[in-house]
Amino acid sequence: MNIIHHGGHQILLLTAGTGDKPLLRNLMQLYLHEISEFTGADPDDHGIFDYPEFDYYFTAEGRQEGRLPILIRIDGTAAGFAMINGFSLVAPRTPSTRHLSDFLILRKWRRRSIGKAVVREIFESYPGLWEIKQRREHEGAQRFWRNVIREYTAGGYKETELNDDRWDGFVQTFDNSSRL
- Which amino acid, residue 89? L
Q: How many CB atoms lie within 10 A of CB 69?
A: 23
φ and ψ at residue 89, rounded to 5 degrees: -100, -35
Query: In this predicted structure, what is the pLDDT of residue 180?
Result: 56
Q: What is the DSSP string of 148-163?
A: HHHHHHTT--EEEEEE
Query: In this predicted structure, what is the pLDDT of residue 93?
Result: 86
Tell which phi-psi region holds residue 82, choosing left (phi > 0), alpha (psi between -120 and 50) or beta.
Answer: beta
Domain residue spans in the chain? 2-179
Distance CA 11, CA 3 (A): 6
Query: In this predicted structure, what is the pLDDT of residue 1?
Result: 75
Q: Where does 2-179 sit in CATH, by number?
A: 3.40.630.30
Tens digit of each residue's pLDDT, the chain (180 residues) = 788 898 899 999 999 999 999 999 999 999 999 999 999 999 999 999 999 999 999 999 999 889 999 999 999 999 999 999 999 998 888 889 999 999 999 999 988 889 999 999 999 999 999 999 999 999 999 999 999 999 999 999 999 999 999 999 999 999 999 865
Query: In this predicted structure, what is the pLDDT of residue 92?
Result: 82
